Amino acid sequence: MADTATEQSTGEILIVTGMSGAGRSTVANALEDMGWYVVDNLPPQMLKPLLDVSGLAAGALPRVAAVVDVRGGMLFTELPAVTRALRDAREQLRVVFLDASDDVLVRRYEAVRRPHPLQDDGTIVDGIRRERERLAVMRESADIVIDTSDFNVHQLATHVVDLFSERGSARHTLTVLSFGFKYGLPADADMVADMRFLPNPYWQDELRALTGEDEAVRDFVLAQSGAEDFLDTYTRAVQDVLEGYQRENKRHSVLAVGCTGGKHRSVAMAAELGRRLHDVPGVAVRVSHRDLGRE
């Protein structure tokens, strides 16, 4: 039984199953955030049609995850047989089983004040015992078993990213966005940097009609006193923030870089910050200019 994921490939199907309360929803959300097509509470009998659809649309559905569990009632009993049949026919099928200790599962159910799906007229412990009996075969045959007893939701999501991200894929996307303060702060900004401490190229006759994308303006802005020191210091600070975002499984962030009109200083400095942050591990950086050309 494996405890690590193998390299991803086109047309992969992942079956996510396991104990109720062990984190299936968290895993499903993390996979969806990574671009997987996720189907929740799928009857086992629908796995073969799902495989057929993914095979026909491999380009559109390269990675599909199906959450299959005891919520399916009597239909769920067919999962071991269906899985065995699909393994014989398809190499890219894998099963992930989520587990946790009984004590942890009881605490989680008590925290959300919901009954266990197999509890009936008994206790939560009765429901957990019945579920373990039904899932014993699937746990034994799973490719990956994840014990979530010591994970919070963020740690579990991060673990899923570590297991199932494609090699070299980004765990976080950073947008470096230039803007003009006179048009208002970007509503979705996570971090804001103010470039109005630098001299404004607008007051240079030969630069006024140009923008921060032009070499002359970029050279002027970067040559100003304090510009290089700011870039060095701020880049290091943002790198620490981005590493923290990845640990907390924050998938997207916006670094807003502003000046008065969003034409000269912010454009040049946003581009330079984007260049310097380009090599942060696990982060994909894109640079955008919200107000360029607005004046």
Q: What is the pLDDT of residue 8?
A: 40
Using 50, 70 and 90 to split pLDDT, how confident is the model at 120?
A: confident
Beta bridge mates, 1: none
Percentage, residues of the chain above pLDDT 70: 87
* Token pair in block for residue 287: 């640079």
* Token pair in block for residue 214: 């032009």
Using 50, 70 and 90 to split pLDDT, how confident is the model at 110?
A: confident
Q: CB-based burial of residue 49 (10 Å sphere; 0-12 exposed, 13-18 middle, 19+ buried)?
A: exposed
* Token pair in block for residue 3: 């405890």
Terminal CA-to-CA distance of the chain, rounded, Å?
62
- Asked if residue 108 has pLDDT above 50, the reply is yes
* Token pair in block for residue 76: 């769920």
Q: Determine which of 25-29, 44-48, 139-143, 275-279 has the lowest per-residue pLDDT on average.
A: 44-48
Percentage, residues of the chain above pLDDT 90: 41
Contact indicator for 125, 110 with CB cutoff of 8 Å = no
Cα–Cα nearest to 197, from 166, 160, 229, 158: 229
What is the rounded average pLDDT of the residues 266-284?
93
Binding residues: 18-25, 69-72
Q: What is the pLDDT of residue 61?
A: 65
* Token pair in block for residue 170: 């980004």
- Asked if residue 4 has pLDDT above 60, the reply is no
Q: Phi and psi at residue 135, in whole multiples of 5°?
A: -95, 0
- Asked if residue 11 has pLDDT above 70, the reply is no
The DSSP bridge pattern shows strands 144-147 and 93-99 to be parallel
Binding residues for GTP: 69-72
255 CB-side CA count, 13 A: 28
What is the rounded average pLDDT of the residues 5-27?
75
Q: CB-based burial of residue 183 (10 Å sphere; 0-12 exposed, 13-18 middle, 19+ buried)?
A: middle
Summary mean pLDDT of the chain: 85
Contact indicator for 30, 111 with CB cutoff of 8 Å = no
Side chain identity at residue 136, one-letter code = A
pLDDT tens for residues 162-206? 777 765 456 788 999 999 999 999 888 999 999 999 999 999 999
Binding residues for ATP: 18-25
CA distances from 100 to 27, 114, 115, 123, 248 (A): 14, 17, 17, 18, 21
pLDDT tens for residues 200-256? 999 999 999 999 999 999 999 999 999 999 999 999 999 999 999 888 778 789 999
Q: How far apart are CA 125 and CA 69, in angstroms?
A: 18
DSSP the chain: -BSSPPPP-TTEEEEEEE-TTSSHHHHHHHHHHTT-EEE-S--GGGHHHHHHHHHHTTTT-SEEEEE--GGGGGGGGGHHHHHHHHHHH-TTEEEEEEE--HHHHHHHHHHHT---TT-TTS-HHHHHHHHHHHHHHHHHH-SEEEE-TT--HHHHHHHHHHHHSPTT--SEEEEEEEEEGGG---TT-SEEEE-TTSPPGGGSTTTTTS-TTSHHHHHHHHTSTTHHHHHHHHHHHHHHHHHHHHHTT--EEEEEEEESSSSSHHHHHHHHHHHHHTTSTTEEEEEEESSTT--
pLDDT tens for residues 29-79? 999 888 888 988 877 777 777 776 666 555 556 688 888 888 766 666 777
Beta bridge mates, 145: 97
